[in-house]
């Protein structure tokens, strides 16, 4: 079955199978891979694994702090939950998917936090037709991802936890502390978590203050901060890799223009950090200038060029799609982009070919 966005366990099925065949290391109960092999799956390694006599390359999937990955894996092997925090678009969700796929074999056991998330959605609810007909029973209980995680001994992912009301968040406190869920409607209703159960939660730094976590809940998590990429070459590599994958999944098999990718990575990093490679300071927009947004700009531009001009990618389309990203939160941010073109891009256009072509598309900014 074709999928627009396969889960990590499907996308990297061959790598995971090869690593499981090879892995003889010490592993926590119910884990499918040892901590060493979970780390290798996420950050990659030079030595390929062997599956059915054939070499399987183990690719890098997360670009960042490798030691952070080791700490995250060890946290999940212990008694505390793992909290991944950072700016939007820093691959927190992707990392939680990769960890869940490697450890439990599934990344789909997920709670999506919203302003409407209730305690029932987090713990369990009821099939009310069966409840009225036969009364409270296990058959009438509708399990949540957290319930399934405890019962099966697998990782539960909790996305955007700070978007949930505080009372819904705090329903996790006793579960993370005691690894027990009380079900008072049932006689002897207690669900004990099986070995292998734990929680990976994510939260955006920009959401601080939306529904701030209580001190009691914070103490049940180990926090790891995912920082934005700080190297243009590395960011360009991520954009290239993810753009190629997304385009192929959209049925578009075209070459990735590495010069345009580096141009895009440079623009995003300089606007995000407020500092050019020459050392000049810049105003920074309110918009999220993340790597994920840069990937989206490239993919949208490539698709537009492919369908309307029968080209791989055109710089006018790149600038047009960049406008939507910059103006997403505040239209005044467009003046920052305009200033960037008038000063930085214009100066580079004197000597560098692609920057000259880039500057000529300034007309789209207004």
Please give the structure tokens belonging to residue 220: 């049940």
pLDDT for 197 equals 98
Q: Is residue 67 scored above 90 in pLDDT?
A: yes
Specify the higher pLDDT residue, 71 or 333.
71
Q: For residue 299, which of 362, 257, 334, 341 has the smallest C-alpha distance?
A: 257
Is 323 domain-assigned? yes
Are 322 and 248 members of one domain? yes
Last residue of a domain, one of 191, 226, 261: 226
Average pLDDT over every residue of 151-180: 95
Above pLDDT 90, what percent of the chain? 77
Q: Is residue 351 scored above 90 in pLDDT?
A: no
Are 196 and 110 members of one domain? yes
Are 325 and 356 members of one domain? yes
Is 153 domain-assigned? yes
Is 3 domain-assigned? no
Report the domain count for the chain: 2
pLDDT for 17 equals 98
Whether 314 and 260 have beta carbons less than 8 Å apart is answered as no
Angle (CA) 208-210-214 rounded to 5° is 75
To which residue do tokens 């099986």 refer? 194
Are 245 and 180 members of one domain? no
Is 170 domain-assigned? yes
Are 207 and 250 members of one domain? no
pLDDT for 208 equals 61
Quickly count: other Cβ atoms within 10 Å of residue 223's Cβ. 14
pLDDT for 206 equals 76
Is 150 domain-assigned? yes
Is 14 domain-assigned? no
Last residue of a domain, one of 196, 226, 256: 226
Distance between CA atoms of 72 and 227, rounded to whole angstroms?
Answer: 14
Is 98 domain-assigned? yes
Please give the structure tokens belonging to residue 295: 């990937």
Are 91 and 221 members of one domain? yes
CATH for 132:
3.40.50.300
Are 93 and 208 members of one domain? yes
Q: Which domain holds residue 327?
A: 232-364
Is 312 domain-assigned? yes
Are 69 and 175 members of one domain? yes
Above pLDDT 70, what percent of the chain? 99
Are 118 and 187 members of one domain? yes
pLDDT-derived band at 275 (thresholds 50, 70, 90) equals: very high
pLDDT-derived band at 192 (thresholds 50, 70, 90) equals: very high
Q: For residue 320, which of 364, 362, 263 has the smallest C-alpha distance?
A: 364
Are 206 and 245 members of one domain? no
Quickly count: other Cβ atoms within 10 Å of residue 138's Cβ. 9
Last residue of a domain, one of 226, 249, 282: 226
pLDDT-derived band at 187 (thresholds 50, 70, 90) equals: confident
3-state SS track over the chain? CCCCCCCHHHHCHHHHHHHHHHCCCCCCCCCCCCHHHHHHHHHCCCCCEEECCEEECCCCCCCCCHHHHHHHHHHHHCCCEEEEEECCCCCHHHHHHHHHHHHHCCCCCEEECCCCCCHHHHCEEECHHHHHHHCCCCCCEEECHHHHHHHHCCEEEEECHHHCCHHHHHHHHHHHHHCEEECCCCCCCEEECCCCCEEEEEEEHHHCCCCCCCHHHHCCEEEEEECCCCCHHHHHHHHHHHHHHHHHHCCCCCCCCHHHHHHHHHHHHHHHHCECCCCCECCCCCCCCCHHHHHHHHHHHHHHHHHHCCCCCCHHHHHHHHHHHHCCCCCCHHHHHHHHHHHHHHHHCCCCHHHHHHHHHHHHCC
Distance between CA atoms of 273 and 266, rounded to whole angstroms?
Answer: 11
Q: Is residue 3 scored above 80 in pLDDT?
A: no
Are 160 and 214 members of one domain? yes
222-268 pLDDT per residue, tens: 999 998 888 999 999 999 998 998 898 888 989 999 999 999 999 99
pLDDT for 133 equals 87
Are 222 and 248 members of one domain? no
pLDDT-derived band at 68 (thresholds 50, 70, 90) equals: very high
Predicted TM-score of the model (pTM): 0.88
Average pLDDT over every residue of 341-351: 93
To which residue do tokens 């920082």 refer? 227
What is the C-alpha R_g of the chain? 23
């Amino acid at each position: 079955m074709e999928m627009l966005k396969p889960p990590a366990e499907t996308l990297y099925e061959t790598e995971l199978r090869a690593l499981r065949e090879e892995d003889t290391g010490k592993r926590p109960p119910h884990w499918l891979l040892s901590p060493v092999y979970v780390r290798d799956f996420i950050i990659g390694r030079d030595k390929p694994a062997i599956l059915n006599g054939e070499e399987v390359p183990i690719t890098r999937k997360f670009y960042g702090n490798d030691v952070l990955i080791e700490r995250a894996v060890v946290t999940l092997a212990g008694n505390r939950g793992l909290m991944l925090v950072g700016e939007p678009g820093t691959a927190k969700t992707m990392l939680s998917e990769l960890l869940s796929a490697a450890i439990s074999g599934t990344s789909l056991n997920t709670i999506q936090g919203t302003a409407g998330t209730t305690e029932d959605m987090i713990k369990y609810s009821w099939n009310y037709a069966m409840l009225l007909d036969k009364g409270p029973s296990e058959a009438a209980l509708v399990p949540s991802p957290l319930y399934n995680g405890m019962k099966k001994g697998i990782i539960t992912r909790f996305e955007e936890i700070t978007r949930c009301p505080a009372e819904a968040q705090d329903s996790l406190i006793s579960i993370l502390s005691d690894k027990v869920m009380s079900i008072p409607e049932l006689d002897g209703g207690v669900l004990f978590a099986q070995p292998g159960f734990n929680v990976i939660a994510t939260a955006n730094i920009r959401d601080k203050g939306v529904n701030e976590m209580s001190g009691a809940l914070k103490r049940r998590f180990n926090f790891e901060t995912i920082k934005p990429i700080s190297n243009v070459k590395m960011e360009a590599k991520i954009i290239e890799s993810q753009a190629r994958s997304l385009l192929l999944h959209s049925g578009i098999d075209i070459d990735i223009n590495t010069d345009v990718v580096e141009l895009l990575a440079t623009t995003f990093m300089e606007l995000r950090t407020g500092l050019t490679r020459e050392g000049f300071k810049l105003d920074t927009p309110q918009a999220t200038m993340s790597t994920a947004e840069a990937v989206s700009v490239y993919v949208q531009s490539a698709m537009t060029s492919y369908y309307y001009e029968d080209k791989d990618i055109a710089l006018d389309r790149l600038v047009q799609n960049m406008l939507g990203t910059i103006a997403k939160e505040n239209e005044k941010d467009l003046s920052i982009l305009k200033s960037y073109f008038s000063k930085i891009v214009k100066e580079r256009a004197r000597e560098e070919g692609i920057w000259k072509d880039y500057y000529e598309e300034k007309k789209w900014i207004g």
